[in-house]
Amino acid sequence: MMRHVGIVAESNVIAIEWKNNQLRLLDQRVLPGEVSWVEHHHVSQVVRSITDMVVRGAPAIGITAAYGVVLAARARFKESPTDWLRLIQLDIDALAASRPTAVNLFWALERLTAVCNCTEEGVDPEGVLLAEAFAIHESDLAANHAMGQLGAEVISAEGEAGTYVMTHCNAGALATAGYGTALGVIRSAHAQGLIEGVYADETRPWLQGARLTCWELQQDNVPVTLNVDGAAAQLMATGQIGWVIVGADRITANGDVANKIGTYGLAILAQYHGVKVMVVAPTTTIDMNLFDGEDIPIEEREASEVTRFAEFDVAPMGTAAINPVFDVTPSNLIDVIVTERGAVTAPFETGIAAIMNKDNLH
């Protein structure tokens, strides 16, 4: 295959917009059948959209929450110019409770809270908060492009390990400011002739791989083939898959990774078949307050997401179901973690500490 290292692909997919002084989110619940935008005028609508998965993906949730604080500030300052700082904390707490696993949510809220605390009572905070939300949005997009290039360089350096990659869930433009983490690497690698195409796990129960990853890659003309989650082992056994490339919702100090349920099993299969595993995530996803994955809170959603598909029952009435949204992949099953500050390999604890100690950290 021809290699053109340095080529950067773009993406036609946008999921988050600040337009006409309001937040607009691409409704990911109805893709690919319908391309529909949800408008948000109040922070309560933002909380609901995060909880109900109108928006999903750790970086995108963080960006959305930042804009949610802007909307909260607008309402609270209008309500009480001299007491908005106390009142807005109620909204920030509601945003923090919307999804418990994605650390980017809390990182973004901490940044916006710091701006609030530096703004005097009686001074309208909306402008400075909006500037901070824009900065978070723009920095995530820049980080995605940096990770895309760094991840492609890792694949190039490893040589011909297989002409296809496999991904799980959706870690693309839909889950970020644009371009994507795992799909950012895939976009860059494909543009440079390093891979021929992608196998996308369907990712039960919400089918983010089938509905979102396949749709997103089709928009950018990246060849993608859908497979049921249970087919991953058989596909790896063919020898055509060189990498499993996934995103992350939280990474601990030792390199353990929380990602969409099914990632842990995929990493075990990859190790058995000699397939390398790459995790791609910005440093905002790294939680240095947690040493390992045992302390990561794992969100569990309603059983009906498993027992029903759309409006149809797929299990007998009264069937018990467990629905953890994430699992934790131990660092010893991961070959490389790619961030915007560099690619880290084992020992992960040392490498992660080094990149997190770089200058210009927030």
Residues 6+ apart with CB under 8 A from 312: none
Closest of 123, 95, 121 to residue 112, by C-alpha? 95
Closest of 141, 68, 61, 67 to residue 101, by C-alpha? 61
Positive or negative torsion for Cα 18, 287, 278, 150: positive
Looking up tokens 């794992």 gives 298
Rounded Cα distance between 99 and 89, Å, is 17
- For residue 44, how many C-alpha atoms fall within 13 Å in the half-sphere facing its CB? 2
Distance of CA 233 to the CA centre of its chain: 24
256 is catalytic: no
| Adjacent-strand bridge partners of 197 | 164
Q: Which residues of 290-307 are buried (b: 16+ CB within 10 A; e: fewer)?
A: beebeebebeeeeeeebb
| Adjacent-strand bridge partners of 324 | 300
Q: Give me 274's structure tokens.
A: 């000699």
Contact 91, 271 (CB under 8 A): no
Residue by residue, DSSP assigns 80-104 as -TTTHHHHHHHHHHHHHTS-SS-HH
| Adjacent-strand bridge partners of 278 | 245, 336
Active-site position among 27, 220, 249, 335? 249
Contact 246, 184 (CB under 8 A): no
Q: Give me 280's structure tokens.
A: 């791609």
Q: Give me 186's structure tokens.
A: 């895939």
Catalytic residues: 249
